[in-house]
C-alpha cells in the first residue's frame, strides 16, 4: 500500500515538474527566445541613428531593445568606443558579468530536464504495464506465485468426501517430509500428479491442502498464464518457472486448468507452428528431458483429460492420474459437516438427511447449499439455520430463484399447471423413474414451472428400461397439453423436454447400442472432441443412408414414448385434473402431497397462524388446505375419462 502511494506520488511530481518546465519554455516574455539576431554593423548603424533604447552587455554578448520595442541580440568584438558611443546617444547601458546567476551544471540540467523527465516517465509507465510478470520488458518471466501461510492456509482436515484422492496426495506430502522412507527401498518420488474430475469436486482445494501440509515452497499458476500474443513468451515462461522450482527444490508447482496449454498438438488450424504447441513442447522437455528436475513435483488439474496430449500423460511426466469424482452419500455428509462448522444450526438439522437428498452434488454445490441456507436464515432474522432453510436452499440451487414478480395470465397458469401435472403423473405411474421431489408452477430461473425428481441413491449407470422411462417422463408435459387443450393449442413450453428427449434417444442409438435395428455400433462424429481444431480434421464416420436410419430410430423411440405417456394420461385423466387444480391452488406441491392427491386424500398443510401459541388448541386439528380438506374436484369443462 505504501509502495503504491510512493509510486503514484512520484508520478504526479514528475508530471507537475514537466508541465512547469514546458510552461516556462513557451512563455512569450522570454527575451532570449523572442530576440532578433542583428549583425554588429546594423547594430552600430541603429545606435548612430538613435534607434536603440537600452542594451545589456555581458562580455561580448549584447542584447537590448530598439525604440519601437523590438528585442535584439548581437555579438560585439573588442570595441573600446562602444560604451562611449552608446552613452553619447543617450542609450541606457546595463553591464553584467559572465555567468553570474548560477552554476553551469545547473543550467545544463535545466535545459535537459524536459527530456530527462519524459524519458523517466516512459520507463515508469513501461514498468507498470501488467505484461510479462508485471514488467513490459520481462515477457518471458514466469507468473507463478509462491503461496505463503498468510494466504488462507488449508490442510487435509478441510478436505472431505474424496478419501482416495486425498490418500494419494498425502503420500506425496509424506515423501517430501521423509524421503528416506521410500528411497531406501529403491522408490522414487512421482514427478507429476494429474487431478482429473468434474468441475467443483475439489481439485484446487486438494492442491491448496498440499501447500498447507507439505511445508515446502508451493508455486501456483494457471494454464492460461503461459501463452500471450508474442512468439516465444510461453516457452520462456515455462523455462523460468522450472528454474524457480530448481532453486527452491524440493518444491511443488501447481498448474490449474492445464488443458489451456496441454491440448493435442497438431489439432489447431496453425499446425505445428502454434505458439501454444511450442509452450507444450517446452513443458514436455522440462518435465522429462535431458536435464533432470529432481525435487520439483508438478501437480496439475483439469476437467478435460480427453483433450490432453498423450505425451503429457505418459509415466515420467505425470506418473499418477488421480480421479476426483463427485462424492457419494457418505462423502456428501462429510463435506456438509466441514462446511457447517461455522454455521449455527438448529436442532432439527441432520446432515445425513441432506446428503441423501442431494445426489449428484459436487463439493462446490454443497458449499453453495450451506451458504444459501445461511443467507436465507439471516434474511429472515433468525439466529440459527433450520432444516427448512436447507430445503429452500436446495430448491434454489436445483431449480433456480423464484420469480414471483413475473405476472402470468390465467390461461398461461392453467397451461403450465397441466404441463407440470402431466410430468408428475407420468413420473409417479411409470416404473423406472426417479421419485418426484417437488412440482411447482412458480417461475424459477428460465422456466415457468418444473417437476424435480431426485434419485433414491447414487447411480453410476442406466439401464435401457430407465432410459425409456425418462423418455416417457419428458413427453408427459406435451401429451397433457394436447389432451386438455387440443393439438392446435399446445405451447412452446415443451422445447426443453423435446431437446432433452432427442439428445437421450440419439445417444441410445449412436453410443449405447440400444437400437435393435442398428445394433451395438458406435456412430457419430465423436462428440467428446468439442474444442476448436481437433474436430476440424475429423469427418463423420456414417454414410447418408445410415444417418437417415439413425434419425428414423431416434424418431421411433420418441414417438413410442409420446404414445405411452399420452395413453397413461388418458387412462388417469381424473388424477391429472386433480393435480392441475392443486397446483393452481397451492402453486408448489411436494412429492408426498402429489401422492396424497393421487390417492384421493386431502392435503394437510398447517397455516402459519395456527402455529402461534395464542391460536393453538389441542382439540382442533390443523387447518387442511384452502378447500377445507375436501379432495380437489376436476376443473370445469374437463374432458371425460374415456371408457
Q: Are 132 and 226 in contact (CB under 8 A)?
A: no
Residue 197 is labelled as binding a ligand = yes
Helix (H, G, I), strand (E, B) or coil at 529: coil
Q: What is the DSSP string of 205-272?
A: HHHHHHHHHH-S-EEEEEGGGS--SSTTHHHHHHHHHHHHHHHT-SEEEEEESGGGT-BPTT-STTGG
Q: How many CA atoms lie within 13 A of 482 on its CB side?
A: 14
Q: CA-CA distance, 569 to 642, in Å (whole number)?
A: 11
Omega into 180 within 30° of 0, i.e. cis?
A: no
Q: Are 603 and 621 in contact (CB under 8 A)?
A: no
Other CB atoms within a 10 A radius of the CB of residue 9 amount to: 10
Residue 202 is labelled as binding a ligand = yes
The yes-or-no answer on residue 420 being catalytic is yes
Q: Are 347 and 373 in contact (CB under 8 A)?
A: no
Q: How many CA atoms lie within 13 A of 284 on its CB side?
A: 19
Rounded to the nearest 10 degrees, the angle between the axes of helix 410-429 and helix 544-571 is: 100
Residue 100 is labelled as binding a ligand = no
Please give the span between the terminal C-alpha atoms of the chain, in angstroms, as a whole number.
82
Q: Which of 98, 40, 50 is nearest to 72 (CA)?
A: 40
Catalytic residue among 213, 275, 391, 420: 420
Residue 437 is labelled as binding a ligand = no
* Residue 629 burial (10 A CB sphere; 0-12, 13-18, 19+): middle
Cell of 25: 519554455
DSSP 618: T
Helix (H, G, I), strand (E, B) or coil at 315: coil
Residue 497 is labelled as binding a ligand = yes
Residue 200 is labelled as binding a ligand = yes
Q: CA-CA distance, 499 to 502, in Å (whole number)?
A: 5
Residue with cell 527566445: 33
Other CB atoms within a 10 A radius of the CB of residue 119 amount to: 11
Residue 232 is labelled as binding a ligand = no
Residue 204 is labelled as binding a ligand = yes
Annotated binding site for Zn(2+): 419, 423, 497
Annotated binding site for ATP: 197-204
Annotated binding site: 197-204, 419, 423, 497
Catalytic residue numbers read: 420
Amino acid at each position: 500500500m505504501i509502495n503504491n502511494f510512493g509510486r503514484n506520488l512520484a508520478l504526479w511530481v514528475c508530471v507537475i515538474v514537466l508541465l512547469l518546465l514546458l510552461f516556462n519554455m513557451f512563455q512569450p516574455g522570454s527575451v532570449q527566445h523572442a530576440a532578433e539576431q542583428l549583425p554588429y554593423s546594423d547594430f552600430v548603424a541603429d545606435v548612430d541613428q538613435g534607434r536603440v533604447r537600452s542594451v545589456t552587455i555581458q562580455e561580448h554578448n549584447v542584447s537590448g531593445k530598439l525604440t519601437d520595442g523590438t528585442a535584439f541580440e548581437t555579438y560585439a568584438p573588442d570595441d573600446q568606443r562602444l560604451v562611449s558611443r552608446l552613452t553619447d546617444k543617450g542609450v541606457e547601458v546595463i553591464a553584467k558579468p559572465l555567468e553570474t546567476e548560477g552554476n553551469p551544471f545547473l543550467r545544463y540540467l535545466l535545459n535537459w530536464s524536459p527530456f530527462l523527465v519524459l524519458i523517466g516517465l516512459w520507463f515508469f509507465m513501461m514498468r507498470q504495464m501488467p505484461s510479462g510478470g508485471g514488467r513490459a520488458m520481462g515477457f518471458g518471466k514466469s507468473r507463478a506465485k509462491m503461496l505463503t501461510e498468510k494466504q488462507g492456509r488449508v490442510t487435509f482436515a478441510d478436505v472431505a468426501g474424496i478419501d482416495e484422492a486425498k490418500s494419494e496426495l498425502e503420500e506425496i506430502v509424506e515423501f517430501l517430509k521423509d524421503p528416506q522412507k521410500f528411497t531406501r527401498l529403491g522408490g522414487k518420488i512421482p514427478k507429476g500428479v494429474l487431478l482429473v474430475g468434474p468441475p467443483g469436486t475439489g481439485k484446487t482445494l486438494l492442491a491448496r491442502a498440499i501447500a498447507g501440509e507439505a511445508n515446502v515452497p508451493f508455486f501456483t499458476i494457471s494454464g492460461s498464464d503461459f501463452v500471450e500474443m508474442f512468439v516465444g513468451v510461453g516457452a520462456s515462461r515455462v523455462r523460468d518457472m522450472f528454474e524457480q522450482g530448481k532453486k527452491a527444490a524440493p518444491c511443488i508447482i501447481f498448474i490449474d486448468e492445464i488443458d489451456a496449454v496441454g491440448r493435442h498438438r497438431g489439432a489447431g488450424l496453425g499446425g505445428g507452428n502454434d505458439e501454444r504447441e511450442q509452450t507444450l513442447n517446452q513443458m514436455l522437455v522440462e518435465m522429462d528431458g535431458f536435464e533432470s528436475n529432481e525435487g520439483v513435483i508438478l501437480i496439475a488439474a483439469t476437467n478435460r483429460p480427453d483433450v490432453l496430449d498423450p505425451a503429457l500423460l505418459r509415466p515420467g511426466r505425470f506418473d499418477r492420474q488421480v480421479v476426483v469424482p463427485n462424492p457419494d452419500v457418505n462423502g456428501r455428509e462429510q463435506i456438509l459437516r466441514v462446511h457447517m462448522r461455522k454455521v449455527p444450526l438448529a436442532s432439527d438439522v441432520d446432515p445425513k438427511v441432506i446428503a441423501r437428498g442431494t445426489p449428484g452434488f459436487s463439493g462446490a454445490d454443497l458449499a453453495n447449499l450451506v451458504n444459501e441456507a445461511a443467507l436465507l436464515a439471516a434474511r429472515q432474522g433468525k439466529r440459527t439455520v433450520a432444516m427448512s432453510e436447507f430445503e429452500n436452499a436446495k430448491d434454489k440451487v436445483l431449480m433456480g430463484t423464484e420469480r414471483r414478480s413475473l405476472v402470468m395470465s390465467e390461461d398461461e397458469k392453467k397451461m403450465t399447471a397441466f404441463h407440470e401435472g402431466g410430468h408428475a403423473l407420468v413420473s409417479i405411474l411409470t416404473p423406472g423413474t426417479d421419485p418426484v421431489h417437488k412440482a411447482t408452477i412458480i417461475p424459477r430461473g428460465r422456466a415457468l414451472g418444473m417437476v424435480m425428481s431426485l434419485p433414491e441413491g447414487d447411480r453410476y449407470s442406466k439401464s435401457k428400461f430407465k432410459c425409456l422411462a425418462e423418455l416417457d417422463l419428458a413427453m408427459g408435459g406435451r401429451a397433457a397439453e394436447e389432451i386438455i387443450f387440443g393439438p392446435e393449442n399446445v405451447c412452446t413450453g415443451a422445447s426443453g423436454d423435446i431437446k432433452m428427449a432427442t439428445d437421450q434417444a440419439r445417444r441410445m442409438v449412436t453410443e449405447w447400442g440400444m437400437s435393435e435395428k442398428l445394433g451395438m455400433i458406435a456412430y457419430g462424429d465423436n462428440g467428446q472432441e468439442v474444442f476448436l481444431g481437433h474436430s476440424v480434421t475429423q469427418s463423420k464416420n456414417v454414410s447418408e443412408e445410415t444417418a437417415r436410419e439413425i434419425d428414423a430410430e431416434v424418431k421411433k423411440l420418441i414417438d413410442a414414448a409420446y404414445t405411452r405417456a399420452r395413453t397413461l394420461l388418458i387412462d388417469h385423466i381424473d388424477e391429472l385434473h386433480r393435480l392441475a387444480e392443486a397446483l393452481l391452488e397451492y402453486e408448489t406441491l411436494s412429492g408426498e402431497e402429489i401422492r396424497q392427491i393421487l390417492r384421493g386424500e386431502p392435503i394437510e398443510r398447517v397455516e402459519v397462524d395456527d402455529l402461534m401459541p395464542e391460536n393453538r388448541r389441542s382439540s382442533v386439528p390443523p387447518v387442511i388446505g384452502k378447500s377445507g380438506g375436501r379432495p380437489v374436484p376436476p376443473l370445469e369443462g374437463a374432458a371425460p375419462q374415456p371408457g
